[in-house]
């Protein structure tokens, strides 16, 4: 029995990396019986049949997991958003941040296509990014074409397992190619008809980039808050969570409650009204969610 890590899952096979060797494994039949699905990123015990093939016998406990994309044991999420083409979307970024924060994954915000920004647009985007920095997020403005900001990512990726995620067409594969040109991942231009990129990544795979493992994924196919409860949502907005400790009532959801420190902070422009509005929108979505039985 040997330990390894699943770095690719494809057509029912799990490709396990162990001591620099890749072993193509199948899962034990009992996994299917018990509805257990090995995921890319899983640390596993496997039994090798020979130098190239074997069976995954045991999945070690996960520190976290995502369902869509299916991946486990993520240290950080590199959230890729474009500054233009498509335009930067704070609402979509906040949606991603909620999902990542709720899974205890450290987010790093990367905004691409800086080379396409006009002076006025750069100022507008930087105003947004400065707010995210002020509430504790690491934020980088990048260009895969001019290499602006690329080197700042190198030390952040070393010795970690990262997932690259973001809206389609923002240049995820282009960015990974800029970080490791030998990969030559396929990229597609933006569809002018749809205004968004075509998916070029078909499966989840961990690849070696800058001394760490990076998952190039097909992206988040679902951005619903299916596993987040109303009382937990507040903890995915750091500035709201921190200010909420000053509220008069414990369990304050910062909507209609009296003496709410968060609403007071929004009125005083200590908390972004736009971020607060996104919080209220997401809270409503969760409250209107159909119950699961």
Q: Name the residue ranges covered by the structural domains of the chain.
A: 2-61, 71-216, 230-287
| Mean pLDDT of the 251-270 span | 95
Q: Is residue 284 over pLDDT 90?
A: yes
- Residue 243's pLDDT is 96
Compute the C-alpha angle 107/112/113, nearest 5°.
175
Lowest-confidence region among 83-92, 132-141, 193-202: 193-202
The pLDDT mean for the chain works out to 86
Q: Is 34 left (phi over 0), alpha (psi -120 to 50) or beta?
A: alpha
Helix (H, G, I), strand (E, B) or coil at 122: helix
Q: List, in sequence order, every residue forming a beta bridge with 18; answer none if it has no partner.
A: 21
Q: Is residue 135 over pLDDT 70?
A: yes
**Assigned architecture for domain 71-216:** 3-Layer(aba) Sandwich (3.40)
Superfamily (CATH H level) for 230-287? Probable gtpase engc; domain 3 (1.10.40.50)
| Mean pLDDT of the 80-100 span | 90
pLDDT digits (tens, 9 = 90+) for 20-71: 899 999 888 888 888 888 999 999 999 988 888 999 999 999 999 887 778 8
- Residue 172's pLDDT is 73
- Residue 193's pLDDT is 32
Compute the C-alpha angle 127/146/92, nearest 5°.
40
pLDDT digits (tens, 9 = 90+) for 171-230: 677 787 788 877 765 554 433 333 334 444 457 889 888 899 988 665 565 677 888 999
Top-tier CATH class for 2-61: mainly beta
Please give the Cα distance from 202 to 196 (Å, whole number).
Answer: 17
Report the percentage of the chain scoring pLDDT > 90.
Answer: 55
- Residue 268's pLDDT is 96
pLDDT band at 143; cut points 50, 70, 90: confident
> What is the reported pTM?
0.83
Helix (H, G, I), strand (E, B) or coil at 84: coil
Report the percentage of the chain scoring pLDDT > 70.
Answer: 89
């Amino acid at each position: 029995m040997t330990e390894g890590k699943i770095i690719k899952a494809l057509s029912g096979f799990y490709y396990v990396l162990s001591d620099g060797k890749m072993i193509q494994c199948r899962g034990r039949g009992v996994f299917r019986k018990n509805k257990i699905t090995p995921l890319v990123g899983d640390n596993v015990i496997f039994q090798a049949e020979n130098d190239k093939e074997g069976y995954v016998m045991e999945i070690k406990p996960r520190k976290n997991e995502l369902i869509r994309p299916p991946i486990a044991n993520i240290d950080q999420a590199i959230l890729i958003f474009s500054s233009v083409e498509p335009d930067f979307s704070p609402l979509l970024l906040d949606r991603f941040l909620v999902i990542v924060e709720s899974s205890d994954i450290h987010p790093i915000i990367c905004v691409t296509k800086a080379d396409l920004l006009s002076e006025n647009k750069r100022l507008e985007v930087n105003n947004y990014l400065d707010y995210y920095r002020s509430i504790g997020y690491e934020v980088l403005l990048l260009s895969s074409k001019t290499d602006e900001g690329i080197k700042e990512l190198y030390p952040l990726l070393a010795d970690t397992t990262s997932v690259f995620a973001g809206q389609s067409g923002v240049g995820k594969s282009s960015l990974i190619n800029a970080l490791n040109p030998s990969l030559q991942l396929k990229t597609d231009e933006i569809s002018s008809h749809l205004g968004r990129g075509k998916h070029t990544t078909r499966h989840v795979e961990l690849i070696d980039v800058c001394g760490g493992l990076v998952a190039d994924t097909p992206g988040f196919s679902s951005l619903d808050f299916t596993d987040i409860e109303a009382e937990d949502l507040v903890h995915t907005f750091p500035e709201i969570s921190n200010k909420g400790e000053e509220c008069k009532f414990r369990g304050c959801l910062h909507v209609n409650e009296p003496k709410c420190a968060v609403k007071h902070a929004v009125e005083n422009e200590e908390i972004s009204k736009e971020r607060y509005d996104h919080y209220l929108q997401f809270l409503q979505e969760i409250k209107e969610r159909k119950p699961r039985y």
